[in-house]
A and B are shown apart, each in its own frame.
Chain A
Amino acid sequence: MSEVVIPNVCEEAVFGNIYMTNSKAIYRYIYYKCGDEDKANDVAQESFLKLWENCKKVASDKAKAFLYRVANNLFLNDVKSKKIALKYAKQSENVDNESPEYVLEEKEYKDKLERALARLTEAERTAFLMNRIDGKKYKEIAEMLDISVKAVEKRIHKALQKLRETIDGI
């Protein structure tokens, strides 16, 4: 009675569910590291393939941690990184009725921000964007990256500090 039944990852429904809930985050995690969409896609798919191959060995409640670990390992094999290209969320594009000058200004600022992001360390950028873009809590990020919450805070603090310094041209 005290035994908790952990769903088997080898079952298609369970695996599919894990895929649906985690693939975007894995994809972004790699994207924030390198700014390469194709690379992020490949790493995400390969990570899930590894999970599928090891479905018997990985309990479903450990699958998430397994995926991040594998994605991280797969990524290390490749180093060349590109600038992160972020785009405006659809909402703000439609809702705001802005002057051309303002739009241009904003575009320039965004480029600046993206260049500043590229100058962050991979660890700082990843933690920062996971929080700012994906809206992940510090605790979640800590679990995914297998580091302490304090380390996450430090990376995020540093990231914002460096971004400002770069943007303000210090």
Chain B
Amino acid sequence: MKDNFLAKWLNDELESSELQELQKTPEFESYNKIISTLDKLEAPAFDEKAAFASFKSNYLATPQIKEEKETKVIKMNVWKPILRIAAVVVLAVGFYTYFNTLDTSVATDLAQMSEITLPDNSEVIVNAGSEISFNKNSWNENREVNLKGEAFFKVAKGQKFDVVTTDGIVSVLGTQFNVNNREGLFQVTCYEGLVSVAHKGQVTKLPAGTAFTVLNGEVVSKESPTTQVPSWTINESSFKSMPLGIVIAELERQHNVVIETQNLDLNKNFTGNFSNNDVNLALKSISIPLNLIFDIQDKKVILYAENNK
């Protein structure tokens, strides 16, 4: 017969021929009686609920046990208040970290300028209609400033960070520089120290007094800046051979006006300054050298060539 055939028999694993063979043995009746008797028997009763109750009162509810046995028995009902406190702490920490990891963002309105200080004490002056954001919390790992528009950076001595714009990344080390990223224009001007500009995979080093300009996707060479700081930081917008379209867009931003042009070649270059304080003066600064006429109608300005009207 099979190994352990009695165990197989008890488990109904015998084939019928094997079962018949077993049933024919003289011992079978005895086996059967043992099993059928055991079927009617049971072990001493055990009441789980009562046992658990006594378990709790013996081991879990009395703090003395903990001291005597030096085991880490913790009272079960201690958990509830602890969990409550824990939940509050988790929420508080969660909120704190959530708000702390959010980027700090500064956006300027039209005709507005804003000055901020970065976590490393570098100063940033944000020109009108621009947005700058950075993360205070991860500043040490991730020294990045995102810029849309124009801003002037005075980097604290020995500090390094990147200015990220849609058109390129400007990396700096202890310098003063201006980044202008507007529609059709990406211009970085270095006033002090050295900056490197990564634009479309090309890295350009800009020493003090030089500028890197991309006009409508093309890198153009521009004259060096003559001032110590960008003119806009002292409330004047200054242009050197800049397409009129870009100049007008800046005037709109600085004075919060809408300028409508008629019969104007917006690609014509303009060199000059306009005031960021006085809209009339600013319009004159543009119209007179270019022989244009302007009409102010509330927030709308119409600009057109003199000989066309």
Contact = CB atoms under 8 A, between A and B. Distances in A.
Contacts of B34: 113, 160, 163-164, 167
Given A53-B72, A88-B40, A164-B27, A23 B6 contact: no
B224 to A, nearest CB: 58
Contact of A138 (B11, B37, B55): B11
A129 B43 contact: yes
A16 B77 CA distance: 13
A160 B37 CA distance: 13
A114 B74 CA distance: 42
A153 interface: yes
Contacts, number: 114
Given A45-B58, A89-B40, A157-B4, A19 B31 contact: no
Contacts of A31: 43-44
Contacts of A48: 55
B76 A110 contact: no
A88 B34 CA distance: 14
* Range, interface on chain B: 35 or more
- Chain B interface helix/strand/loop/mixed: helix
Interface string A35-56: 0010001001100110011000
Nearest to B33: A109
Given A52-B59, A138-B11, A156-B7, A24 B46 contact: yes
A64 interface: no
B73 A53 contact: yes
Given A131-B10, A138-B7, A157-B7, A23 B48 contact: yes
A78 interface: no
Contacts of B42: 86-89, 133
B71 interface: yes
Interface string A8-30: 00111000100110011001100
A19 B40 contact: no
Contacts of B234: none
A157 B5 contact: yes
6 contacts: A19-B52, A49-B59, A86-B42, A109-B33, A157-B6, A164-B31
Interface of B: 3-8, 10-11, 27, 30-31, 33-35, 37-44, 46, 48-49, 51-52, 54-55, 58-60, 71-74, 76, 79
Given A53-B72, A161-B6, 17 more contacts: A19-B48, A20-B52, A27-B51, A32-B43, A45-B55, A48-B55, A86-B42, A88-B42, A113-B34, A131-B10, A134-B43, A154-B7, A160-B31, A160-B34, A160-B35, A163-B34, A164-B31
